[in-house]
A and B are shown apart, each in its own frame.
Chain A
């Protein structure tokens, strides 16, 4: 029972490099989310998706892009990484969203360092 799987778990980038984080869920959830977690800042929503082929901006979308070509996958891309994007990234999914958001299922996180 995999749940939500994130890859890679760790990555070190140089400023200006690009990379993609992959999130996969096997629960047939419509809603998927990308968060970043920084000390003292809590969880901040980057982008989210309400279904296959849809994406929407969250609180802190600048510098990130996302795609949801398949229902089970939600990709987070950094086109030109900056040191300010050093963080731990979490993917989550849920079967319901908006004002009736139910239980969120989280991945184990991807720790990204930008030098």
Chain B
């Protein structure tokens, strides 16, 4: 398997706090994407960041990409109970490989 690494595997925070999850990879990428999966549902696309971008924002989401360290982070600010889900990173490599991380399970407690 060429699945990359995400950390932490699980994260539990209080409502209103920020949540940060990380994704590391090994091969060069064209873009990196973050997805959310609520329990029992399909995955939903959150944000795509290209290899020539360093930071991207979407609402309360902030994604950074450091290609020198081969890592990305997803920050969710002012978390809500509805943010409870699993979050996955997905890499489209320039070797045409499509790689999913194992996910971070986020629990936001009211």
Contacts and interface: CB of A to CB of B under 8 A. Distances in A.
B96 to A, nearest CB: 5
A59 interface: yes
Interface in A59-115: 59, 90, 92, 98-109
Given A100-B31, A101-B98, A106-B44, 8 more contacts: A40-B102, A42-B88, A99-B30, A99-B92, A100-B92, A102-B31, A103-B48, A104-B45
A103 B42 contact: no
Contacts of A92: 43
B88 A43 contact: yes
A23 to B, nearest CB: 11
A29 interface: no
B25 interface: no
Contacts of B44: 106
A45 interface: yes
Interface of B: 1, 3, 30-31, 33, 35, 40-45, 48, 88, 90, 92-96, 98, 100-103
Given A99-B92, A99-B95, A42 B42 contact: no
A40 B100 CA distance: 12
The 3 nearest A-B residue pairs measured at CB: A106-B42, A101-B92, A43-B100
A24 to B, nearest CB: 14
A106 B98 CA distance: 15
Contacts of A108: 41-42
Nearest to A106: B42
Which applies to chain B's interface (DSSP): helix, strand, loop or mixed? Answer: strand
B98 A105 contact: no
Contact of A44 (B1, B30, B96): B1
B101 A99 contact: no
A100 B45 contact: no
Contacts of A45: 98
A107 B42 contact: yes
Given A42-B3, A42-B88, A103 B45 contact: yes
Contacts of B3: 42
